[in-house]
Homo-oligomer: A and B are copies of this chain.
């Protein structure tokens, strides 16, 4: 198909009505009436840098690109609103593959009630997605920043870590999963390929007076460091308390690395937040309704940076040396 025809098909899939959308794409720009405050985040997923096409099905790639962007809205406690998606299509991806990418975007958009308000398609040397998401809140103060952590706050983490890094290793070397049950291995791969953005949980943490919040995309130590720097505090985190996804410990053993290396691997898109110790129980109760564990993994102290400790003592928060 020609670029114009493909563009028309893409626009059709990438455009829909939404509560705040007055004009969808197909015009020069999408027109919305936001009201209140907006949170806007951009993210790109580039073949050969962030994913490999032979390991990631087209629909997963589309879903993950949107998920990574939406995760930033979750980390602000914003309600998801609109998404704008640029798809760069290489010559060797056929129309079917291109539509599968879009279907992946669309499916997650539907599941998260995000309006696809605009998009564009272009030729590209590699498959790439550039996603802009806009979230909403009644007022700027309702959005949780990275900079509000206070000394004495508890450091809490949603869900479980390590699955994305373990899933990547499984995809790269399937034999590592020989000892795993099939559904456990499958969920590890899915965590890498199609992460889920913690939008509802982020909103609940915001409502439960989280003082600071960030999503764990770069890795626990790195993202805790971003939060510590923005807040002008130190985060002391006990890696022994970090819940690991089912199969991570077994996969780590098979791969000959310590579990905390996988827990530090990033891309799990869980939320790391600080909040007063007295508010932890209320937050846990709220997230319990989503069947999402909320675990106290550390404390906010005076100082700077991150102190990570594991079973055998201190651990490099960035963990670069340990990661292949």
Contact = CB atoms under 8 A, between A and B. Distances in A.
A130 interface: yes
B125 A46 contact: yes
Interface string A35-56: 0111111111011111000000
A32 interface: yes
A140 B33 contact: yes
A49 B123 contact: yes
Interface residues of A, number: 59
B140 A29 contact: no
Nearest to A271: B28
A23 interface: yes
Contacts of A34: 34, 38
Nearest to A45: B122
Contact of A86 (B28, B37, B44): B44
B49 A37 contact: no
B125 A125 contact: yes
A72 B31 CA distance: 12
Number of copies: 2
A147 to B, nearest CB: 7
Interface string A192-214: 00000000000000000000011
A211 to B, nearest CB: 14
A258 to B, nearest CB: 23
A221 to B, nearest CB: 12
A227 to B, nearest CB: 10
A43 B120 contact: yes
A82 interface: yes
A5 to B, nearest CB: 13
A73 interface: yes
A105 interface: no
Contacts of A41: 28-30, 118
Contacts of A72: 28-29
Contacts of A172: none
Interface in A184-238: 213-215, 230
Given A37-B22, A40-B32, A124-B46, A27 B117 contact: no
A62 interface: no
